[in-house]
Amino acid sequence: MGSELIFRGHEAQHVADTYSPKPPKPWASVTRPIGYLLREQRLVFVLVGIAIATVGFTLLPSSRSPYVNGNVPISNEYVRYDFDSSTHLTHKPAYERRFGLTNWNSGGKVPLGLKRKGLRIVVTGGAGFVGSHLVDRLIERGDSVIVVDNFFTGRKENVMHHFGNPRFELIRHDVVEPLLLEVDQIYHLACPASPVHYKFNPVKTIKTNVVGTLNMLGLAKRIGARFLLTSTSEVYGDPLQHPQVETYWGNVNPIGVRSCYDEGKRTAETLTMDYHRGAGVEVRIARIFNTYGPRMCIDDGRVVSNFVAQVKTIVYILYLYMSLKG
Ligand SMILES: O=c1ccn([C@@H]2O[C@H](COP(=O)(O)OP(=O)(O)O[C@H]3OC[C@@H](O)[C@H](O)[C@H]3O)[C@@H](O)[C@H]2O)c(=O)[nH]1
């Protein structure tokens, strides 16, 4: 077998003259890329890139769910209700199915570079005093709003400035009858709020609070919508605790002339929490105390409207006195 003389330093070695491939080095598939990375400071550049990406994503605003340890931060100043966080949601809300968003904090921070997509929202009682202002805010925020109202105390004038807006719809409907809609959120305000109105037909009042709320909660469960109940300070009845905290259970007369409203709203809260714990419906409860402002009925017998009406009467009497006195 021929051989070729190869001079290596002080000694010559004899090698065979037929090619024989080198035996593969063990771990060559591992050591080769490592060697590639280590050459020309490539590893340093990789580590710097990872560090920049980590810092960037850490500082970017996140759209995490508003739930923190089961507490739901209701933004208004009325009441923050602690929910039982042991319940796991079994539904993906409709807007998550539609937009493929998860943990989308619909009213909160929008991830950088994304325009907030409008939601589809139904507001029961949206032609009323509080409801119509809520509708204004939602339309202004870019959402599409369906108002469901039977005009028992509400007025078309409260929402007619939205007529012609393609993102606004008005349905004359009594919530004690079931309603099928595909929306992302339900704000349930339908209920007569003033003593003058709810005492007028107490059975209808409690029916709206119980059957109407059941219908809306059933809809929320069916379509995976988030549900908000506007409750009231009347759930505390004649409170023995001042000021009331949301964990105070109240002191309510179950058989009085106001019970249709007080107990009706308490039952609505019970149903809301039962759908949350039992069916995983995402809910909010806002206990609204005395409110006042544009579109309130001056003669509805509530605290602030009574006060304003009495002041107007006194001013009118003084005006008459001064004009007659000369
Ligand atoms: O059966 C009914 C009763 C009432 N409604 C409507 O519900 C709306 C209630 O509006 P109102 O102006 O009377 O009452 P407000 O807007 O002040 O209070 C409303 O929001 C706050 C909640 O605590 C009250 O319970 C709720 O009535 C009206 O538009 C009324 O027409 C129904 O749609 N169905």
- Pocket flag, ligand 1, residue 200 (CB < 6 Å): no
Local confidence band at 59 (pLDDT 50, 70, 90 cut-offs):
low
- Pocket flag, ligand 1, residue 264 (CB < 6 Å): no
Per-residue pLDDT tens over the stretch 219-275: 999 999 999 999 999 999 999 999 999 999 999 999 999 999 999 999 999 999 999
DSSP state letter for 110:
P
Identify the residue with better confidence: 56 or 227. Answer: 227
Cα of 295 vs centre of ligand 1, distance in Å, is 12
Cα of 64 vs centre of ligand 1, distance in Å, is 33
Give the integer Cα–Cα distance in Å for 52 and 144. 40
- Pocket flag, ligand 1, residue 149 (CB < 6 Å): yes
Give the integer Cα–Cα distance in Å for 88 and 271. 17
Locate all alpha helices (DSSP H) within the chain, ordered by sequence: 28-38, 42-59, 94-99, 129-141, 195-198, 202-207, 213-223, 259-279, 303-325
The closest-lying atom of ligand 1 relative to the alpha carbon of residue 302 is: 17
Per-residue pLDDT tens over the stretch 151-175: 999 999 999 999 999 999 999 999 9
Give the integer Cα–Cα distance in Å for 279 and 221. 7
Residue 61, SS3?
coil
Identify the residue with better confidence: 318 or 28. Answer: 318
Judge whether residue 214 has pLDDT over 60. Answer: yes
Give the Cβ contact number of residue 289 at 10 Å: 14
Domains of the chain, start order: 2-59 (no CATH), 94-295 (3.40.50.720), 298-326 (no CATH)
The closest-lying atom of ligand 1 relative to the alpha carbon of residue 150 is: 33
Is residue 128 classed exposed, middle or buried when 0-12, 13-18 and 19+ CB atoms within 10 A define those classes? buried
Cα of 48 vs centre of ligand 1, distance in Å, is 59
261: annotated active-site residue:
yes
Judge whether residue 99 has pLDDT over 70. Answer: no
Helix then strand count (H, E) for the chain reads 9, 8
Cα of 159 vs centre of ligand 1, distance in Å, is 14
Predicted confidence at residue 74, as pLDDT, reads 36
Answer yes or no: pTM beyond 0.95: no
Judge whether residue 82 has pLDDT over 50. Answer: no
Of 95, 187, 261, 275, the active-site residue reads 261
Cα of 190 vs centre of ligand 1, distance in Å, is 4
The closest-lying atom of ligand 1 relative to the alpha carbon of residue 126 is: 29
Q: How, if at all, do strands 11-16 and 3-8 pair?
A: antiparallel
ipTM over 0.95: yes
Average pLDDT over residues 72-89: 40
Predicted confidence at residue 101, as pLDDT, reads 42
Predicted confidence at residue 11, as pLDDT, reads 52
Mutate to test the pocket of ligand 1, among 158, 173, 191 (most ligand atoms within 8 A of CB): 191
Identify the residue with better confidence: 298 or 100. Answer: 298
